[in-house]
């Protein structure tokens, strides 16, 4: 029997934000591979073997998934959000690119999911309505200097910026430094959205503050931070969160 490998995104957390395509493939799988917290989001069932691993072992995990596929298994590698955004899809292709040449001919598919920035944006309005970029603030796989350079240039280009992996116990100072640098480049009134545990009804928290008041301690590992451009606007509302949106047009 020939195996296949699906690299699937589970969305930001809520069951109803998992696509029907991903649900179907999960129901057909024999093996589930991924970081423990994401594997735990898929209900156990007879016939499904779970291979949960530590968050830092992405390449090993990708190779394990490819090996299982060559053995004829129907394998799903799971990520949160979209698997192509700072997640397992690129790790699998790195493993294919550098690994056993026979892996190139396997049946490998990437199944999209709703990325944290899209789930967060939808909660508050349309902050990504004009040009934007996403930056991973983790310096595990790239030097901090490069991150600073990209942040500065993105702010100068007036992109809205989505910051992933803003903070962890191993990386406590990076987000504060990022705000400092952004305050040098952008008006201090630019809206900053801290969107935490989006779509997890018990824990979701979304706050919008001006850049001048943005502090790193507001964020954690399950927060995506959206930095507005100079055009991003707030629509205040009585007794509720303001809408935040970026107009579709910009003039020089």
CB of 238 to ligand SAH, least distance (A): 27
Q: Total residues at the site for ligand SAH (CB under 6 A)?
A: 25
CB of 71 to ligand SAH, least distance (A): 27
Beta bridge partners of 195: 206, 224
Which residue's structure tokens are 């490069």? 146
Residue 98, judged by CB atoms within 10 A of its CB (0-12, 13-18, 19+), counts as exposed
Site string for ligand SAH, 55-84 (x = CB under 6 A): ------------------------xxxx--
CA within 13 Å, CB half, 227: 33
CB of 237 to ligand SAH, least distance (A): 22
CB of 250 to ligand SAH, least distance (A): 26
CB atoms within 10 A of CB 41: 14
User: Which range in 61-69, 102-110, 123-131, 219-227 contacts ligand SAH by CB under 6 A?
Assistant: 219-227
Cα–Cα distance measured from residue 11 to residue 8, given in angstroms and rounded to the nearest whole number = 9
Residue 228 binds ligand SAH, judged by CB under 6 A = no
What does the block give as tokens for 161? 């910026």
Residue 132 binds ligand SAH, judged by CB under 6 A = no
Site for ligand SAH (CB under 6 A): which residue of 87, 124, 178, 186? 87
Residue 164 binds ligand SAH, judged by CB under 6 A = yes
Beta strands in the chain (DSSP E): 4-9, 31-35, 49-53, 74-79, 108-111, 125-126, 132-136, 160-164, 191-196, 205-210, 223-227, 233-235, 243-245
Binding stretches for ligand SAH (CB under 6 A): 12-13, 79-82, 85-87, 115-116, 120, 164-166, 195-200, 221-224
């Amino acid at each position: 029997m020939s195996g296949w490998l699906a690299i699937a995104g589970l969305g930001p957390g809520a069951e109803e934000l998992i696509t029907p395509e991903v649900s179907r493939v999960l129901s057909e799988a024999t093996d589930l591979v991924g970081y423990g917290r994401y594997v735990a989001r898929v209900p156990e069932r007879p016939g499904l073997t779970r291979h949960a691993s530590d968050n830092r072992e992405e390449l090993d995990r990708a190779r394990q998934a490819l090996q299982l596929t060559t053995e004829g298994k129907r394998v799903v590698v799971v990520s949160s959000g979209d698997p192509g955004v700072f997640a397992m899809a690129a790790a699998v292709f790195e493993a294919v690119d550098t690994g056993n040449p026979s892996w190139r001919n396997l049946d490998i598919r990437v199944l999209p999911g709703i990325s944290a920035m899209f789930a967060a944006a939808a909660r508050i309005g349309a902050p990504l309505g004009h040009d934007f970029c996403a930056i991973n603030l983790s310096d595990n796989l790239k030097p901090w200097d490069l991150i600073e350079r990209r942040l500065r240039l993105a702010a100068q280009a007036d992109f809205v910026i989505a910051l992933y992996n803003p903070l962890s116990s191993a990386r406590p100072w990076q987000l504060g430094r990022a705000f400092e640098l952004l305050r040098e480049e952008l008006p201090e009134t630019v809206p900053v959205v801290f969107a935490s545990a989006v779509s997890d009804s018990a824990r979701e928290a979304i706050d919008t503050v001006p850049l001048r008041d943005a502090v790193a301690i507001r964020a954690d590992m399950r927060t995506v931070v959206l930095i507005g451009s100079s055009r991003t606007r707030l629509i205040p509302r009585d007794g509720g969160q303001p809408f935040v949106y970026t107009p579709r047009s910009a003039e020089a």
